[in-house]
Structure 1
Amino acid sequence: MKRFIFFINFILVFHIANAQTKAISFDVNGLKVILKSTQKETVSMSMFFRGGVMNYNAERAGIENLALASAATCGTKNYSVVDYQELADEYGIDISGSSTTDYGTINMDCISKYLDQGWKLFSDAVINPAFDKTEFQTTKERMITGIYHSQSDPETRIEQLSMESMFKDSPYSVNPLGTSKTLGGFTAEMVSNYYHNELLNKNKMFLVVAGNITKEELEKKIQASFSTLKGKAYAPPVYDRKTLTGEHLVIEQRDIATNYMSCIMNAPTMTNADYYAFVLAINALSGSMNYELRTKLGLSYAPGAIVKIQQIPYTSMFVSTTQPKKAFKAMITVYNNIKEGKYGERYLEALKKEHRDRYYRHQESASSIVKDLGEAEVLGDYSITENMVANFNKVSLQNMKDSFGKYLKGAIWIYLGDEQVGRAAFQ
């Protein structure tokens, strides 16, 4: 009897603890806040800015990434660059800023006992960035150097080619990092004006926090620090989600020892009911490619397939190889096997377990929790990530086969390497 009562009490405690770990959402003076309370020794937070590349044209490519990086590092109204950096170093506070295709962030990570110090630097970076001209120039030059390095990296370049080809003539094709030319033309004043006039708007911002802090404690901090944050009219971007038809080939000549190939196809959005079955089908494709092209045929050291999760998602089936023609044929064979559903219930259960394990590993890191919740909110609703394990567990073999055939009807083949060899491979 005592064992039974103990078991019931254990279950109740477990459910109560589980309920406490669920993320919650609330507003503070019109600013949306998402909080996941944890018992971790670290706290992580990010102020998200919606829109990404849809906020500016190609001539200003990179301005948002530069603005957020500078806001986080180039001093504030209340702290000089030196004081800001010394305080961050003294308390082990990590503050950074950046922007991607769909959103930008200013982030802060610190250990829980220094949350007050971390919050002061974080909130001042959001509300009162100073864009110190000397530090701004250093930040800009570092980013331009990074762009030159990325252009010489084949994997980065083929990803850029994928976005440019998939979303040609669309704002969505703009590289959020910009170019050396666009970055070179930005001044501290231009970037400051962009930040204060176009980004600093609580109607396009939301805050995500994960750590050992209560809703009441967080509300007090937000009330004290963000009371001057104003809201302006904001219309969310409209995304043109076109379906690929037919097959197209894009080749870029590059004198490299290993050739890179990627097949770009459509994919469902994260809010689509087909999303979970489709992701599992692409995971099956990736695992089969790895076995066939790497383990069995020795054609590549890193073949695979992924769903690029964003407002307009796409699927990429990729390989790097010295034998493009053989690799291309092997990719097609694997693709057709997955399309025909040549995998069983045991494989499906292994795929589901992999997703469960990945989700729980992410829950071990406060910064990963914040990133997952924030991205889900940008792409539809933060609760998507909270319900992900349950939704993956519902997927059947038929769901996987149906979703694979539904979305993968057209393709763009991207090739980076010896052009002559590349053209011969696709004949």
Structure 2
Amino acid sequence: MMMEIYKRTVVGEDGPTVVTESVPGLRSVSLGLWVRVGARDEVSEQQGISHFVEHAVFKGTTSRDAFDIANSLESLGGNLDAFTSRDVTCYHGRCLAEHLDIALAVLADLLQNPMFDPAELTKERRVILEEIQSVEDTPEDLIHDLFAQSVWGRDPVGAPILGTPDTVNAFTQDDLFEFTGRHYRPSNMIISAAGHLDHASVVEQVEKLFGSVPASPPARRAPSSAPRSYQHYYRDIGQTHLCLGTTSWSYIHPRQYDLLVANTVLGGGMTSRLFQEIREKRGLAYSVYSYVETLEDTGLFSTYMACDRCRLKDAVEVMWTQLLVLKECGITEVELASAKAQLKGELILGAESMSNRMSNLAYDEMYLQRYLSMDDTLKEIESVTLEGVYDACQTLHDEQGMHQVTVGP
């Protein structure tokens, strides 16, 4: 196992938090600038503005145009990218270790000096509208948005991250400057990096690139879940896509690994109960799985499958049955050992990716305010018991809180 060297520094009184992991033997670095703002921090008329900003900052700053930004690392063999989620926006890059200062300077420029030129915003607006339409035209993507909206109801945490055509068409330059002025402050940022690096050097450059501007974290409250619901959205397509599930535990829940083991047994791969019962034994569906999404104060559990409408009734009955059996009987000793080995293997293999390490650093800092090393995580997984998994299984089949969403003919 590669040696882990973790360090954390809060830069100044109101500056960003820097978390790094030095991994000897590498020649590259993965870097991320994380802003604690996402879809859940938007009011209804702002839906999609976090994602719009994420796109718009790449269109030019006070010192770089869009080509300069794209060329800054690409010309050196590296890359820049970004994503927006329900509670965070991340700008990240990968480069050779000797180019880390360039990557950090470019990302700092994006976040602190965007131009939001109206002509560029008009073009990027069209791109985002195409992205929204792409989701609408892809039912295996669309259904997960619809399911989140069903589970969390009117709470912003379940709103579509991309926004709607109406909200996206309404955003102005002033809206973007007002939004970034409120949220894109150094004290609301985390800078994480993993690979061949020196923590002190990273902190020194961050001190030069970022000022200290006081900011309060987003005023968030834990979302309430909507009552049990069955919804169908008509689409003239060949298959019916289905999500069935409910709210679940958060990232910081002390028993989250019990839940992850239960999810692995139920729908976490080709040997899972859902895959074996629905696809292998009965041939009712091609794609079938379950997943858990965790946020700082809530979570989501869902099963998913896609099948011909004429087989939907039988497939749904099997899915409900498997959820009920899991709730009533839990899992076996053999399944527990297998799920633990699967989760451990995925963790260790994933740790070979510096991007994964960089992301884990940021999420641990954001949600836990502490670092959970690989060895600590492996111990957490190993400590899972049959009794703990049984308790977690009780949350996966809540009669009063289950939501079923279908998209299809």
* TM-score w.r.t. length of structure 1: 0.87
* Closer, same or farther: CA 81–229 of 1 in aligned 2, 3 Å: farther
Segments of 5+ residues of structure 2 without an aligned counterpart are none
Matches within 5 A, 1:131-146: 131-146=116-131
Paired residue for 1:112? 97
**CA distance in 1 between partners of 2:224 and 2:166 (Å):** 30
8 Å CA contact retained: 1:65, 1:97: no
Query: How far does the alpha carbon of each residue in 1:223-256 deviate from its partner, in whole angstroms, 9 at most, with x for none?
Result: 1111x241223354111344x76x4311112221
Structure 2 residue 169 is matched with structure 1 residue 184: yes
Structure 2 residue 392 is matched with structure 1 residue 403: yes
Structure 2 residue 398 is matched with structure 1 residue 413: no
1:108 Cα deviation (Å)? 2.0
Structure 2 residue 208 is matched with structure 1 residue 209: no
Segments of 5+ residues of structure 1 without an aligned counterpart are 1-13, 419-427
8 Å CA contact retained: 1:268, 1:275: yes
1:82 Cα deviation (Å)? 3.3
**CA distance in 2 between partners of 1:389 and 1:138 (Å):** 47
Paired residue for 2:137? 152
SS in structure 1 at match of 2:86:
coil
More helix by share: 1
1:44 Cα deviation (Å)? 1.4
Aligned length: 396
Q: Percent identity?
A: 19
* Closer, same or farther: CA 262–357 of 1 in aligned 2, 3 Å: same
1:407 Cα deviation (Å)? 5.3
Structure 2 residue 27 is matched with structure 1 residue 44: no
Paired residue for 1:425? none
* Closer, same or farther: CA 77–368 of 1 in aligned 2, 3 Å: same
1:280 Cα deviation (Å)? 0.6
**CA distance in 2 between partners of 1:241 and 1:37 (Å):** 40
SS in structure 2 at match of 1:346:
helix
Structure 2 residue 249 is matched with structure 1 residue 249: no
1:341 Cα deviation (Å)? 3.0
* Closer, same or farther: CA 235–119 of 1 in aligned 2, 3 Å: closer
* Closer, same or farther: CA 317–93 of 1 in aligned 2, 3 Å: same
Read off the aligned partner of 1:285 and give its amino acid letter: L
Paired residue for 2:81? 96
* Closer, same or farther: CA 273–163 of 1 in aligned 2, 3 Å: same
**CA distance in 2 between partners of 1:163 and 1:141 (Å):** 25
Larger-gyration structure (1/2): 1
**CA distance in 2 between partners of 1:210 and 1:301 (Å):** 38
**CA distance in 2 between partners of 1:372 and 1:379 (Å):** 10
**CA distance in 2 between partners of 1:105 and 1:260 (Å):** 30
Query: How far does the alpha carbon of each residue in 1:12-60 deviate from its partner, in whole angstroms, 9 at most, with x for none?
Result: xx8xx63xx1433221113211111123222111111113123221111
* Closer, same or farther: CA 264–297 of 1 in aligned 2, 3 Å: same
Paired residue for 1:363? 351
* Closer, same or farther: CA 80–95 of 1 in aligned 2, 3 Å: same
Paired residue for 2:275? 290
Query: How far does the alpha carbon of each residue in 1:102-135 deviate from its partner, in whole angstroms, 9 at most, with x for none?
Result: 1111222212232232222122222222234443
**CA distance in 2 between partners of 1:400 and 1:233 (Å):** 38
* Closer, same or farther: CA 176–342 of 1 in aligned 2, 3 Å: closer
Read off the aligned partner of 1:392 and give its amino acid letter: I
Paired residue for 2:259? 278
Read off the aligned partner of 1:64 and give its amino acid letter: S
- Please tell me the root mean square deviation across aligned C-alpha atoms, in Å: 2.1
Select which of 287, 294, 312 maps to 1:324.
312
8 Å CA contact retained: 1:81, 1:132: no
1:258 Cα deviation (Å)? 0.6
Mean Cα displacement is larger for which, 263-272 or 379-388?
379-388
Matches within 5 A, 1:113-128: 113-128=98-113
Paired residue for 1:375? 363
1:406 Cα deviation (Å)? 4.4
Structure 2 residue 222 is matched with structure 1 residue 239: yes
1:347 Cα deviation (Å)? 1.8
